[in-house]
Homo-oligomer: A and B are copies of this chain.
Amino acid sequence: MTPALIGIDWGTTHRRAYLLDARGHLLAEASDAQGMLACQGRFRPALDSLLQEWPEAGADVPVLMSGMVGAATGWQEARYLDAGTPLVQLAQQLVAVRDAPPGRRWAIVPGYCIRDAGGRVDVMRGEETQLLGALTLGHGDGWYVLPGTHSKWVRVDGGRVSALRTYMTGELFALLTQHGTLASVAGGAAPDALEAFAQGLTAAGGAALSHALFTCRARVVSGDMPALHARSYLSGLLIGAEWCDALRAPEPLRHVSLIGSAQLANSYAVAAKHHGCDVTVLDPREIYLAALNALGNPSR
C-alpha cells in the first residue's frame, strides 16, 4: 500500500494522474483540465499542486509523464524516437526533467516521429505509452486505432511502430459544429442517428473530405436529411474518411485494436463492422496503468 509511482497522462487540454504502489496496484487517481494549454508554460507549479493532493507520496516517489508535456511547446522537449526503437524499450528512453528538485525522479516519456517509404512524416506523443501498455498486456502486432481529437492509426510490427497516420477527426468535428457554417445545421445536442452515421461512413470515400463535409449542409437545406441527423452524418463522414484510407492499403484490413473511451470505441466499432473488419476494444485506463508498471519497473 506504499506509494511507489505516479504517472501522468498530460495532454493538450487535460491531464489524468495515477498513484500506484510497488506491486502496480492503483491507490488513487485524479484528472483535471490543467492540460498543456491551460498551464501556459507553468508546468512546475501545476505538478506541485497535483502532488500536494497526495501527501502520502513522498519526495522519493518517481513521476512519469507522457503526452504533450514533452512537446517543444510543453514543459521540456523530449525528442521524438524513430521507428528503430521498439516500444518495449521506452523505459530506457525516459527523459529526466531538468528543473526537478534535487533528488526527485521526474521523467518524460518521448513520443515517436515516423516516416513512411515516401518520406512523409507523422508524429505522436502519449499514444506510445498506450501502445506499450497494450503490448505489456499481451496484445501483439497489428493495427491499433486511438480515436480522439487527433485519431491515430498505428501499425505495430515486431513490437516496433511501422506505420503512423494521424487524422484531425475530433478537432474538425469540434471546429465545424462550434464555429462556421455547419454549426447552424449540426450544432447543438442531437440524439445518435445510426442510419445517418452509416450514410456518412458510405459518403466519406466518394470525394475530397472538404466536399463531403459540405454535403452535410446541402442535404439539410435541400430537405434530403433532417437537421437532427446532421451531427451523426458528420461524425460518420469524419470517421469514415479514416477507414477509407485504411482500406486503400494493398493488404486487406481484417482486424484493429481500439483504444478509446467507450463512446468513441462504439462509433469506431460500428465503422469497423460497416467495412467488414473485426475489432478488439481495449480499455485506455487499464492499458495506461499496465504501461506505467512497465515503465516504472522495467525489470519486472
**Residues of chain A having any CB pair with chain B under 8 Å:** 12, 71-73, 80, 113, 118, 120-123, 149-150, 165-169, 171-172, 174-176, 179-181, 184, 203-204, 206-211, 213-215, 217-219, 221-222, 224, 238, 241-242, 244-245
| A–B pairs, 16, beta carbons within 8 Å | A113-B222, A120-B206, A121-B224, A122-B218, A123-B222, A150-B214, A168-B211, A168-B213, A175-B175, A179-B179, A209-B209, A209-B210, A210-B238, A211-B241, A211-B242, A211-B245
- In the bound complex, residues from chain B placing their C-beta under 8 Å from that of A179 are 175, 179
Bound form: Cα–Cα A203–B116 in Å: 13
| A169 and B123 within 8 A (CB) | no
Give CA–CA (A175, B172) in the complex, Å: 9
Q: Which residue of B lies closest to A216 (CB)?
A: B168
Structural contact, A221 and B165, CB atoms closer than 8 A: no
Q: Evaluate contact between B210 and A168: CB separation under 8 angstroms.
A: yes
Q: A222-B123, A224-B121 are in contact. Are A245 and B208 (CB under 8 A)?
A: yes
Chain B residues positioned under 8 Å from A222 (CB to CB): 80, 113, 121, 123
> Chain B contacts of A165 at CB under 8 A?
207, 211
Q: Which residue of B lies closest to A239 (CB)?
A: B210
Contact residues in B for A217 (Cβ distance below 8 Å): 123
Nearest Cβ on chain B to A161's Cβ, whole angstroms: 14
Chain B minimum-CB-distance residue to A119: B224
With both chains docked as a complex, state the minimum distance between the C-beta of A125 and any C-beta of chain B, in angstroms.
9
- In the bound complex, CA of A150 to CA of B217 (Å): 11
Question: Which residue on chain B has the smallest CB distance to residue A12?
Answer: B181
Chain B residues within an 8 Å CB radius of A180:
171, 174-175
Residues of B near A12 (CB, < 8 A) are 181
Pair B221/A123 contact, Cβ less than 8 Å: yes
Bound form: Cα–Cα A168–B212 in Å? 9
| A121 contacts across to B, CB distance below 8 A | 215, 218-219, 222, 224
Distance in Å: Cβ of A218 to nearest Cβ of chain B: 5
A214 and B206 alpha carbons, distance in the complex (Å): 21
Query: Do B167 and A123 touch across chains, with their CB atoms under 8 A apart?
Result: no
- Contact check: which of B113, B171, B204, B219 meets A181 at CB < 8 Å? B171
Q: Which residues of B contact A209 (CB under 8 A)?
A: 208-210, 241
Instruction: Report the 7 A-B pairs with minimum CB-CB distance, sorted nearest first.
Output: A208-B241, A209-B209, A166-B214, A167-B210, A175-B175, A208-B245, A121-B222
